[in-house]
Chain A
Amino acid sequence: GENVEQHPSTLSVQEGDSAVIKCTYSDSASNYFPWYKQELGKRPQLIIDIRSNVGEKKDQRIAVTLNKTAKHFSLHITETQPEDSAVYFCAASGTGGFKTIFGAGTRLFVKA
């Protein structure tokens, strides 16, 4: 089955710096890769996603890149702000978004 590895487990940056979180997946049939943000005590919420026919997607300060050959994808947050502090999860799934498998999460601290 699918396995998703996520690094680093903890990331601390200064406000205004960039943050990068990397994930690898094992199932070459996976073709949908969402990213979720979870604030303390709250439910995960989708922040951006990318499909396998796209190499990069950007939404304001957030971007995601996908390398299907190497089976890895990354989340980039630019100009980080204290409110970006949260746990971020990458995930991978196959056709239709079924059976979404999550990485272990990255706890991001943005220091003011």
Chain B
Amino acid sequence: NAGVTQTPKFQVLKTGQSMTLQCAQDMNHEYMSWYRQDPGMGLRLIHYSVGAGITDQGEVPNGYNVSRSTTEDFPLRLLSAAPSQTSVYFCASSGLAGRYNEQFFGPGTRLTVL
């Protein structure tokens, strides 16, 4: 199993550009989530999904869109990048909905917006 994978590892954008951060897992996990990590602020939840076709907002959803068309994939879209979105982004997944399960994190994507 590859676990949770994320692409790209690094990305530099200009203000106003759009892009999609990719996240995939091969563990048949129902629950997937996106976090951003900024110095001194821990991991802040952006969006999460409890299964294909179901998504919901986290703590800091503004400026980000998500969709979940398959169990395996959970892409994060930045429609118009802003310097405030410079951060490290982590995708995570965990097992069956309704149970307390460890979240497995991907390796992260370091995004810089100029």
Interface positions of A (Cβ within 8 A of B): 1, 6, 9, 32, 34, 42-46, 49, 51, 89, 91, 95-105
Contact = CB atoms under 8 A, between A and B. Distances in A.
6 contacts: A6-B42, A44-B43, A99-B45, A99-B56, A101-B59, A102-B45
Contacts of B74: none
Nearest to A42: B107
A96 B42 contact: no
A32 B31 CA distance: 15
B42 A89 contact: yes
A49 B48 contact: no
Nearest to B110: A41
Contact of A105 (B42, B48, B100, B101): B42
Given A96-B97, A97-B94, A98-B50, A46 B102 contact: yes
A6 B98 CA distance: 26
Given A43-B107, A44-B90, A44-B105, A96 B100 contact: yes
Interface residues of B, number: 27
Given A1-B59, A44-B90, A100 B40 contact: no
Given A43-B107, A46-B102, A97-B99, A104 B40 contact: yes
A98 to B, nearest CB: 6
B88 to A, nearest CB: 10
> Quick one: which of B31, B33, B43 has the most chain A CB within 10 A?
B43
